[in-house]
Amino acid sequence: MRIHETAVNTAVLLALLSVPAFAWWTDEPFTITLATRAAVLALAAVGLNILLGIGGLVSFGHAVFFGLGGYAMAILAFHAQNYTELNLGIGVIDGTNSMPVIWLVAIIVSAITACLIGLLSLRTSGVYFIMITLAFGQMFYYFAISWSTYGGEDGVSIYVRNQFPGLNTLDPIQFFLLCFGLLCFTLFVTARVQRSAFGVALNATRQSRARAEAVGLRPVRLQLVAFALSGAITGLAGALFADLNRFVSPSMFSWQLSGELIVLVIIGGVGRLIGPVIGACVFVALEHLLGGLTEYWHIALGAILLGIVLFGRGGVLGLLTGQDGARV
């Protein structure tokens, strides 16, 4: 079974790589942009999958981290593009248009916020956990709307994509490869974490909290670390998403986006390494193919989701490999 799943994993990543490669050859930059969108959404969902799939915690507020990553990029790049200083209260810094620096800031801010949200929300469980994470999401959303320095409701446009040493990031295929590379790296890290002592403990905590405590594990501590890791990855994806569109708006914080991330994970296969990637590819493909025909394409997405929830809990990956649930 495991070999089989490895084969699926490789095939999915090759497919995601071959589409833009072909588009590059035939000179269709829009298709490359679509593939980049899929890779970035996949990365965001890979983050959520750690918390949702392995940890069993349904966060309905993951857009917080996506938005924080986006705004980390927007704020730093905004000051760089306007040659203004950024006052942090404790000191004044310059903006930057260096992607690695922006990513680092996005990751750190998201991880710290995830810890704080986790500390409060992990005191609850079930529906209350879903509601409290949703509430945090809405808090950030309304804050972003009223934050006039950075465009308020209108958001911020960044005219030139940020820089990565040695690459021309405005070239679609180079930017795609950068995002794809980060996705592959994150998948590798996630796979290691999933099989580590921490992964085994977190996965067991989801299945039986009493068992975890009885062997000397502290569920909340494990879940908090998962929250931080999960938020950091989704935050990184947010920074990439902002650079992809060269635009950031409060909609990155919206609860619809939190919902979409959950949908991506469920379509692909909850708790499975490559599940979110499949989910993101299916989502972007449907959005593009059906979205061109009708603006009601979400109906088709809804039908697929319904089918998966009713008949195939393991998502697309469950259908392919004949098993569902998280594997460590």
Partner 1 sequence: MSEAVLTTHKLCKRFGALSATDDVSITLLPDEIHAVIGPNGAGKSTLIQQICGSLRPDSGRVELLGRDISIFDTAARARAGIARTFQVSQLAMEDTVLQNAVLGAIGSRGISWRMWRNAQQTPTLIARADTALERVGLIEHRDTVCANLSHGQRRQLEVAVALTLEPKAFIMDEPMAGLGAEGSKTLTAFLDGLRLEAPILLVEHDMDAVFALADRISVLVYGKVIATGSAAEIRNSAAVREAYLGDAT
Binding site for partner 1 (CB under 8 A): 192-193, 195-201, 203-204, 207-208, 210-218, 222, 225, 325-326, 328
Please, what sign has the CA dihedral across residues 143, 144, 146, 150? positive
Minimum CB–partner distance for residue 181 and partner 1 (Å)? 20
Backbone angles phi, psi at 314, to 5 degrees: -80, 5
Closer CB to partner 1, residue 86 or residue 204? 204
Minimum CB–partner distance for residue 106 and partner 1 (Å)? 21
The answer to whether the CB of 54 falls within 8 A of the CB of 61 is no
Backbone angles phi, psi at 163, to 5 degrees: -95, 145
Minimum CB–partner distance for residue 262 and partner 1 (Å)? 20
Distance CA 19, CA 69 (A): 27
Residue 134: both structure tokens together: 């949703």
Distance CA 31, CA 46 (A): 22
Closer CB to partner 1, residue 3 or residue 197? 197
Minimum CB–partner distance for residue 9 and partner 1 (Å)? 17
Give strand ranges (E) for 78-188. Answer: 85-87, 92-94, 156-157
Closer CB to partner 1, residue 23 or residue 224? 224
Closer CB to partner 1, residue 90 or residue 214? 214
Residue 149: both structure tokens together: 């320095």
- The residue count of the chain comes to 328
Minimum CB–partner distance for residue 241 and partner 1 (Å)? 26
Closer CB to partner 1, residue 229 or residue 261? 229
Minimum CB–partner distance for residue 176 and partner 1 (Å)? 29
Report helix, strand or coil for 273.
coil
Closer CB to partner 1, residue 92 or residue 214? 214
